[in-house]
Amino acid sequence: MDPFDVVIIGSGYGGSITAARLAEAGMAVLLLERGPRMETADLRQTDDPKYIQQVIDLVVTSGNVAFRTGNMVGGASIPMDGAHFRMPEKSYTPTDDSGRPYWPAELSKASLAPYFDAVEEMMSIRQFPWTEIPKAGGMFAMMLDRVGASCDRARLNYTDCLQCGFCSTGCIYDKKRTMLHTYIPLAEANGAEVRANCDVRTVTPGGQGYIVSYLRDGVLEEVSAVRVIVAAGGIHSPAVLLRSASNLPDLSPHVGENFNNNGEHAFVGILPPDFADLDAFHCYKGMDNAGLMSWHWFDDEGFTLHPGAGLEPTVFAAALAAADHPVLPSRAWGMEYKRFVEEVYPHRVIGFSALGLADGHRAVTLDNDGNPDLEDRPSPAHDAYLDRLESIVLDIGDQTGVALMPSVPRKLSGTTSAHLLSACRIAETPEDGVVDVDCQVHNYENLYVCDASSVPYSLGVNPALTISALAERTAARILEVG
Q: Which is nearer to ligand FAD, 260 or 289 (CB)?
A: 289
Spatial CA neighbour of 183 closest among 258, 74, 274: 74
Phi, then psi, of 138 in degrees rounded to 5: -60, -45
> DSSP letter string over 352-388?
EEEEE-----EEEEE-TTS-EEEEE---HHHHHHHHH
Q: Which is nearer to ligand SF4, 164 or 321 (CB)?
A: 164
171 scored as a contact of ligand SF4 (CB under 6 A):
yes
Which region holds residue 394: left if phi is over 0, alpha if psi is between -120 and 50, else beta? alpha
Q: Which is nearer to ligand FAD, 227 or 347 (CB)?
A: 227
The number of residues that bind ligand SF4 (CB under 6 A) is 13
Site for ligand FAD in 251-280 (CB under 6 A): none
Question: Taken in order 91, 96, 100, 104, is the CA torsion positive or negative?
Answer: negative
Query: Where are the alpha helices (H) located in 244-327, listed in sequence order?
Result: 298-301, 313-322
One-letter amino acid for residue 112 of the chain: L
Q: Which is nearer to ligand SF4, 80 or 408 (CB)?
A: 80
Rounded Cα–Cα distance for residues 154 and 288 (Å): 12
Query: 4-9 and 29-32 as β-strands: parallel, antiparallel, unpaired?
Result: parallel
Rounded Cα–Cα distance for residues 184 and 204 (Å): 26
- Answer for which of 14, 15, 75, 165 binds ligand SF4 (CB under 6 A) is 165
Q: Which does 33 bind (CB under 5 to 8 A by kind): ligand SF4, ligand FAD, none?
A: ligand FAD
Stretch near ligand SF4 under the rule CB under 6 A, chosen from 2-10, 145-153, 166-174, 420-428: 166-174
Rounded Cα–Cα distance for residues 85 and 156 (Å): 8
Q: Which helix (H) or strand (E) holds 156?
A: strand 155-156
- Answer for which of 30, 43, 65, 75 binds ligand FAD (CB under 6 A) is 75
> Are the C-beta atoms of 100 and 83 separated by less than 8 Å?
no
CA angle, corner 367, sides to 363 and 371, nearest 5?
A: 90
Rounded Cα–Cα distance for residues 285 and 475 (Å): 39
Stretch near ligand FAD under the rule CB under 6 A, chosen from 33-41, 189-197, 390-398, 403-411: 33-41
Site for ligand SF4 in 174-213 (CB under 6 A): 175-176
Q: Which is nearer to ligand SF4, 173 or 284 (CB)?
A: 173
Contact residues for 431 (Cβ-Cβ < 8 A; gap 6+): 252
Q: Which does 282 bind (CB under 5 to 8 A by kind): ligand SF4, ligand FAD, none?
A: none
Q: Which is nearer to ligand SF4, 138 or 360 (CB)?
A: 138
CB of 173 to ligand SF4, least distance (A): 4
> Are the C-beta atoms of 212 and 224 separated by less than 8 Å?
yes
69 scored as a contact of ligand FAD (CB under 6 A):
yes
80 scored as a contact of ligand FAD (CB under 6 A):
yes
Q: Which does 463 bind (CB under 5 to 8 A by kind): ligand FAD, ligand SF4, none?
A: ligand FAD
- Answer for which of 58, 113, 162, 384 binds ligand SF4 (CB under 6 A) is 162
Q: Which is nearer to ligand FAD, 71 or 182 (CB)?
A: 71
Site for ligand SF4 in 277-306 (CB under 6 A): 287
**Site residues for ligand SF4 per CB under 6 A:** 158, 161-167, 171, 173, 175-176, 287
**Site residues for ligand FAD per CB under 6 A:** 9-15, 32-35, 56, 68-72, 75-77, 79-83, 168, 199-200, 231-234, 236, 240, 289, 418-419, 451-452, 462-464, 467
